Amino acid sequence: MKQYLALCNRIIDEGTWIENERTGKRCLTVINADLIYNVEKNEFPLITTRKSFWKAAIAEMLGYIRGYDNAADFRKLGAKTWDANANENLAWLNNPHRKGEDDMGRVYGVQGRAWSKPDGGTIDQLKKIVDNLKKGVDDRGEILSFYNPGEFHMGCLRPCMHTHNFSLLGDTLYLNSFQRSCDVPLGLNFNQVQVFTLLALIAQITGKKPGMAYHKIVNAHIYEDQLDLMRDVQLKREPFEPASLSINPDIKSLEDLETWVTMDDFEVSNYQHHDAIKYPFSV
Ligand SMILES: Nc1nc(=O)c2c([nH]1)NC[C@@H]1CN(c3ccc(C(=O)N[C@@H](CCC(=O)O)C(=O)O)cc3)CN21
Ligand SMILES: O=c1ccn([C@H]2C[C@H](O)[C@@H](COP(=O)(O)O)O2)c(=O)[nH]1
């Protein structure tokens, strides 16, 4: 929580106003932030200075793991977060690759599970990583990349958290996650939970101990219409002690994650938080 507050304060104190063409809004912006989560000690990085809808964040990550390309599938899991990008962005609505209502196109998990090969067929990046880690193998290229510039024109949004790089040291699994663009009031609240949960889940299904997760953000911003709420409401609140996450121990394989897992398989205990804050969302 301290790291999150420090980043918010840094943006407010040192940020530069930058015009964003895609959304037509100005963003107060800093470059480079490094967040670290101790997954081994289960220090779940859940925001306490407002109510965080952590289940939607995990649902979104589970949807990426499953390779979903449709906002309706995300809704079924419990995340409405892709509705706007799939259905309200004019550039995407007019894109000939859009397959209809709720289609997100070739984004995130589609690239993670079915990256198209120029010579035909697809690559399942996540399955290769899980198979290797289960055998105790880290080939120094255990990389899950959602960033495929050759298919940006076939998706509703370029991935923000675009690369997850796993590493094994003995029996301990580490994760470095890279994010090119971060909506700190809305997106980061989710992304912190996602990086933490991704390491916890992949460690669990590969039989490894989770270690640290390192989360690198390049462009960290607050949209102009979010600034007053952040500065005058959220940052005026005192944080509570961190919560902890528990994951159903019956989840033992990638197939379990793909088939029967729901949000009921995740629980958060000791979550003390301030009231919800409704931040404006920019499509
Ligand atoms: N401008 C922008 N910011 C983002 O954070 C973002 C995007 N676009 N587009 C793609 C995904 C979708 N994400 C989202 C979308 C919506 C919420 C959101 O509305 N959160 C509310 C309520 C969540 C709920 O009720 O489940 C919140 O208070 O956190 C959060 C992240 C993160 N990403
Ligand atoms: O997981 C996510 C997904 C998206 N965001 C934010 C970051 C930006 O505010 C927008 C994406 O806009 P671009 O113009 O493509 O950078 O969504 C996030 O914080 N986390």
Q: What is the mean pLDDT of each run of 10 residues along the chain (283 residues)?
A: 95 98 96 98 97 98 98 98 96 97 97 97 98 98 98 97 98 98 98 98 98 98 98 97 96 98 97 98 95
The number of domains in the chain is: 1
| Per-residue pLDDT at 221 | 98
User: Which 8-state DSSP code applies to residue 272?
Assistant: -
Residue 145 domain-assigned (yes or no): yes
Q: Is 156 a catalytic residue?
A: no
Regarding the beta carbon of 60 and ligand 2, being less than 6 Å apart is answered: no
Residue 205 domain-assigned (yes or no): yes
Residue with CA closest to ligand 1 atom 2? 282
Q: Is 217 annotated as a binding residue?
A: no
Q: Are 6 and 236 in contact (CB under 8 A)?
A: no
What's the farthest any 2 CA atoms get from each other in the chain? 56
Residue 31 domain-assigned (yes or no): yes
Residue 274 domain-assigned (yes or no): no
Range of the domain at 220: 1-269
Residue 242 domain-assigned (yes or no): yes
Torsion, Cα 11 179 89 114, to 10 degrees, reads -170
| Per-residue pLDDT at 1 | 79
Torsions phi, psi for 151 (to 5 deg): -125, 15
The atom of ligand 2 lying closest to the CA of 20 is: 14
Q: How far is the CA of 29 from the centre of ligand 1 (A)?
A: 18
Overall pTM surpassing 0.90 (yes/no): yes
Q: Is 66 annotated as a binding residue?
A: no
Q: How far is the CA of 117 from the centre of ligand 2 (A)?
A: 27
Alpha carbon distance 205, 1 (integer Å)? 28
Residue 280 domain-assigned (yes or no): no
| Per-residue pLDDT at 20 | 97
Residue 246 domain-assigned (yes or no): yes
Q: How far is the CA of 216 from the centre of ligand 2 (A)?
A: 14
Alpha carbon distance 202, 64 (integer Å)? 13
Write down the catalytic residue from 8, 27, 156, 160. 160
Q: Is 158 annotated as a binding residue?
A: no
The atom of ligand 2 lying closest to the CA of 191 is: 1
Q: What are the b/e assignments for 51-68, b being 16+ CB within 10 Å?
A: ebbbbbbbbbbbbbbbbb
Spatial neighbors of 48 by CB under 8 A, at least 6 apart, are 1, 239, 240, 241, 242, 243, 271, 272, 273, 274
Residue 234 domain-assigned (yes or no): yes
CATH of the domain at 60: 3.30.572.10
